[in-house]
Amino acid sequence: MIRTTILLALASVAFGTASYAADPIKIGVPVGLSGANSVVAPSVVQAAELAVEEINAKGGVLGRPLELEIADDASGAAGAQKAFDSLVFQKEVDVLISMETSAARNAGLPIVTKGDVPYIYTSFYEGKSCNANLFVNAWVPEQQVPPLVDNFTGKQGAKKFFLIGSDYSFGRGMLEFARAYIEKSGASVVGEEYLPMDGSDWTAVISKLKASGADAIITSTAGGAPNVTLTKQLRSSGVTLPYGNLAVDEGTAKSMGAEASGIFLSASYVTSIDSPENKAFLAAMDKKFGSELRTPNDLSVPQYEAIYLYKAAVEKAGSTETASVLEALPSVSFTGPRGTISMSKQHHAPLTMYLGQVQDDGSVKVVDSYKDVDPGEQCPNL
């Protein structure tokens, strides 16, 4: 379970180590327990805890138990530098597996390179982050944006879009791709506005939206808190245009209640996926966490699956040695809640994508699905 202590400091979570003679394999999880990602980070920690518990219950990896080392990166660059440095050089973790803001990821990558550890990034992001040690099992714009824009232009007749984002690499990167795709589709962008990552007053931006003549909105904010404040202010100001959110996950949508109703999202995971693997995962999460369960979502499920992908790579390599694990990672796969995942395309993963719409109760109704969407050209030189 998540306890208040780990919300403020580093925490070590170990499962079943007493029955093992071998030293544990340490998995570092730098994650935004405070700051913008604090809304979604607890669900990510829960998913990691379940994966580790399941694997350890079946004998661990190469006869060694897995152990989590969780560090708060405060959802930003400065916090990430401290968290990565602590995990890599003090805790001496064998791998980093984490969902983070792009600002945190970018700040941590030089430490990953210096410390030479594998790093599996489990957050959807703006794409084209390339590092020999970095693998990504979440979506990029080439996978996420087209289903949303195609629905708005094709089925809802949208011709004029207004774009709103957080002013950092994810917000701007996603909307840069969205603008290009919108214009390629024959529609236009009539406004594009940003607030800092910690911004919370969207009044001036919403005024510009209302004056623009837009007939659809697409937003790309930092995950968690900015999504909540923007959505609440859009609704309270009476905005009812078709609304596509590039950063909201199902858990955050549920936390917003009725104010999230009607939002369109494009995701690689929704809880309603009808597969034996997803049903088993949801049942296991419910059994483990009960009333404290945070809604599994498109940020937490990749975390769960990434731990299994790392397990497969270590077992194929026969070692936790970095070079051997990095060589194995593109060739292994894991079949879990989202289907079969393999980071085989330039350190990225083909993914089945779901276009969904948030309902009054916060659940997501799947409008359409797109199987095995290619991530496109992300890191051709790796």
The arithmetic mean of pLDDT across residues 52-76, rounded, is: 97
Q: What is the pLDDT of residue 142?
A: 97
pLDDT tens digits, one per residue of 226-255? 888 999 999 999 999 999 999 888 888 888
pLDDT tens digits, one per residue of 284-318? 999 999 999 999 999 999 999 999 999 999 999 99
Confidence class for position 20, pLDDT limits 50, 70, 90: low
Q: Rounded distance, CA 308 to CA 137, Å? A: 12
Burial class (CB in 10 A: 0-12, 13-18, 19+), 199: middle
pTM of the complete model? 0.90
Q: Rounded distance, CA 177 to CA 377, Å? A: 13
Confidence class for position 216, pLDDT limits 50, 70, 90: very high
Lowest mean pLDDT among 96-105, 125-134, 247-256: 247-256
Residue 362 clears pLDDT 90, i.e. is over it: no
Q: What is the pLDDT of residue 174?
A: 96
Q: What is the pLDDT of residue 13?
A: 43
Spatial neighbors of 197 by CB under 8 A, at least 6 apart, are 36, 75, 76, 101, 103, 166, 167, 168, 171, 222, 226
What is the secondary structure of 164-188 as a DSSP string?
EEESSHHHHHHHHHHHHHHHHTT-E
The arithmetic mean of pLDDT across residues 193-198, rounded, is: 92
List alpha helices for the chain, DSSP H.
41-57, 77-85, 102-115, 141-154, 169-184, 203-212, 225-236, 250-256, 276-289, 300-317, 322-328
Confidence class for position 222, pLDDT limits 50, 70, 90: confident
Q: What is the pLDDT of residue 19?
A: 55
Half-sphere exposure of 258 (CA within 13 A, CB side): 1
Confidence class for position 198, pLDDT limits 50, 70, 90: confident
* Spatial contact of 302 and 138, defined as CB atoms under 8 Å apart: yes
Pairing mode of beta strands 334-336, 339-341 = antiparallel
Residue 5 clears pLDDT 50, i.e. is over it: no
Q: What is the pLDDT of residue 253?
A: 87
Query: What is the identity of the amino acid at 111?
Result: I
Spatial neighbors of 140 by CB under 8 A, at least 6 apart, are 124, 125, 126, 127, 128, 348, 375, 376, 378
The arithmetic mean of pLDDT across residues 10-33, rounded, is: 71
Q: Rounded distance, CA 37 to CA 264, Å? A: 21
Residue 3 clears pLDDT 50, i.e. is over it: no
Confidence class for position 188, pLDDT limits 50, 70, 90: very high
Residue 258 clears pLDDT 70, i.e. is over it: yes
Residue 1 clears pLDDT 90, i.e. is over it: no
